[in-house]
Amino acid sequence: MKWVLIVLGGIVGLIALMALIGAFVARDHRATSTIALRQPPDRVWTVVRDLGFDVPIIVLESAPPRRLVTRIDPTARSAAHGPTSWRATVPERESA
């Protein structure tokens, strides 16, 4: 019985710790990542535009083949992720 209480206390402690950390994360927090590809911009654009899964998105900005800004449609029934947005930007190729 003692082990059960220890395990339950540990689980409750972890949940409380996650809630405490979440309370300090800013509402306008944005996570970003960058990737360098050895493909021409047109080829990358084709892959980025064809997401390959059924997520209702709203295109906010499109400048082929350099920039794509989208947002998950918050009115869609399957928008469990919230209004997350992502951007794909292809910079000009640097001269070697």
CA distances from 92 to 6, 39, 40, 67 (A): 57, 12, 10, 11
Residue 20, domain member (yes or no): yes
Residue 60, domain member (yes or no): yes
Half-sphere exposure at residue 79, Cβ-oriented, CA atoms within 13 angstroms: 14
Residue 95, domain member (yes or no): no
User: According to the model, what pLDDT value does residue 9 have?
Assistant: 96
pTM for this model (two decimals):
0.48
- Residue 11: which domain range? 2-89
Q: Which of 94, 49, 47, 55 is nearest to 69 (CA)?
A: 49
Residue 75, domain member (yes or no): yes
Residue 24, domain member (yes or no): yes
Residue 77, domain member (yes or no): yes
Per DSSP, helices labelled H in 25-69 are: 41-49
Tally of domains in the chain? 1
Residue 62, domain member (yes or no): yes
Average pLDDT per block of 10 residues along the chain, 96 residues long: 93 94 76 81 83 75 84 67 59 58
